[in-house]
Amino acid sequence: MSLEMKVPAVGESITEVTVASWTKSDGDMVEMDEVICELESDKATFEVTAEAAGKLSIKAEEGDTLEIGAVLCEIDESASGGNPSSSSDDTSSDEKPESGGDSSSEPKATGEVLEMKVPAVGESITEVTISNWAKGDGDFVELDEVIAEIESDKATFDLTAEAQGKLQIVAQEGDTLEIGALICKIEVMEGSPSTSSSASQDASSSSDSSSSSSDKETYATGHASPAAAKILDEKGISASDVKGSGKDGRITKEDAMKAEKSKQESKSATDDKPAKPQFEAPTFGGGVSREQRREKMSSLRKTVSRRLVSVKNETAMLTTFNEVNMKPIMDLRKKYKEEFKEKHEVGLGFMSFFTKAVCVALQEWPAVNGQIDGNELVFSDYCDISIAVSAPKGLVVPVIRNAESMNFVQIEKEVIRLATKARDNKLSIEEMEGGTFTITNGGVFGSMMSTPIINAPQSAILGMHNIVERAVVENGEVVVRPMMYVALSYDHRIIDGRESVSFLVRVKQLLEDPTRLMLGV
Q: What is the pLDDT of residues 464-501, one digit of tens each?
A: 999 999 999 999 999 999 999 999 999 999 999 999 99
Q: Nearest-CA neighbor of 51 among 67, 70, 30?
A: 30
Collect all residues with Cβ–Cβ distance below 8 Å to 275 and sequence separation of at least 6: none
Confidence band for 456, pLDDT divided at 50, 70 and 90: confident
Q: CA 448, CA 321: separation in Å to the nearest integer?
A: 12
Average pLDDT score over residue span 164-171: 90
Q: Which of 364, 338, 348, 353 is nearest to 484 (CA)?
A: 353
Query: What average pLDDT does the segment 182-197 reach?
Result: 76
CA 73, CA 24: separation in Å to the nearest integer?
A: 11
Choose from 213-217, 241-245, 292-296, 304-308 the range with maximum mean pLDDT.
292-296
**What are the tens digits of pLDDT across the range 53-63?**
889 899 998 88
Q: What is the dihedral of CA 27, 28, 32, 37, to 10 degrees?
A: -90
Could you tell me which residues come within 8 angstroms of residue 276 by beta carbon, excluding any fewer than 6 positions away? none
Q: Which of 65-74, 188-197, 229-238 has the lowest mean pLDDT?
A: 188-197
User: Is 112 a residue whose pLDDT tops 60?
Assistant: yes
- Please determine whether the domains at 221-265 and 317-519 fall in the same fold group of CATH: no
Point out which residues pair with 478 in neighbouring strands: 473
CB atoms near residue 520 (< 10 Å):
7
Between 489 and 425, the higher pLDDT residue:
489
**C-alpha angle 421/426/429, rounded to 5°?**
105
**Residue predicted with more confidence, 433 or 359:** 359
* Radius of gyration for the chain, computed over Cα atoms and rounded to the nearest angstrom: 31
Task: Report the distance separating Cα 39 and Cα 19, nearest Å.
Answer: 5
The band of 519, judged by pLDDT with boundaries at 50, 70 and 90, is confident
Amino acid, res. 217: E
Give me the half-sphere count of Cα atoms (radius 13 Å) on the Cβ side of residue 147. 31
Per-residue pLDDT, averaged over 407-412, amounts to: 93
The lowest-confidence range among 18-27, 264-273, 314-323, 449-458 is 264-273
Note the pLDDT of residue 413. 94
Q: Per-domain residue ranges for the chain?
A: 2-76, 84-94+104-196, 221-265, 317-519
Q: What amino acid is encoded at 257 in this protein?
A: M
Residue 24 contacts residue 182 (beta carbons within 8 Å) = yes
Residue 415 has what DSSP assignment? H
Question: Is the pLDDT reported for residue 202 higher than 50?
Answer: no
The answer to which of 250-259, 376-385, 510-519 has the lowest mean pLDDT is 250-259
Question: What's the average model confidence in pLDDT over 171-200?
Answer: 77
| Beta partners for residue 40, in sequence order | 18, 45
Q: Tell me the range of 100-114, 228-242, 340-354 where mean pLDDT is highest.
A: 340-354
Angle in degrees, CA 250, 254, 259, rounded to 5: 90
State the Cα–Cα distance between residues 256 and 50, nearest whole angstrom. 45
User: Greater confidence, 342 or 279?
Assistant: 342
pLDDT at 211: 43
Q: Helix or strand or coil: residue 80?
A: coil
Which 3 state secondary structure label does DSSP give 392? Answer: coil
- Name the fold adopted by 317-519: Chloramphenicol Acetyltransferase (3.30.559)
Fold for 2-76, please state it: OB fold (Dihydrolipoamide Acetyltransferase, E2P) (2.40.50)
**Alpha carbon distances (Å) from 378 to 41, 366, 411, 498:** 24, 10, 25, 19
| Tens digits of residue pLDDT in 7-47 | 888 776 678 888 888 888 888 888 888 889 888 877 677 78
Mean per-residue pLDDT over the chain, rounded: 81
Question: Could you tell me which residue, 208 or 514, shows the higher pLDDT?
Answer: 514
Angle, in degrees to the nearest 10, between helices 408-423 and 327-344: 80
Whole-angstrom distance, CA of residue 474 vs CA of residue 336: 26
- pLDDT at residue 205 greater than cutoff 50: no
Give the residue among 70, 83, 69, 66 at the shortest CA–CA distance from 18: 66
Q: How far apart are CA 289 and CA 233, in angstroms?
A: 9
Catalytic positions, please?
A: 492, 496
Highest mean pLDDT among 146-155, 164-173, 311-320, 359-368: 359-368
Indicate the pLDDT class of residue 277, thresholds 50, 70 and 90: low
Q: Specify the range with the lowest mean pLDDT, choosing from 141-155, 219-233, 388-402.
A: 219-233
User: Residue 499 CB: number of other CB atoms within 10 A?
Assistant: 17
- Do the beta carbons of residue 307 and residue 40 sit within 8 Å? no
Q: What is the pTM of this model?
A: 0.50
Rounded CA separation 224/238 (Å): 10
| Domain covering 221-265, topology | Dihydrolipoamide Transferase (4.10.320)
Give the highest mean pLDDT range of 267-276, 282-291, 360-369. 360-369
pLDDT of residue 8: 86
Tell me if the domain spanning 84-94+104-196 has CATH number 2.40.50.100.
yes
| Average pLDDT for 290-302 | 77
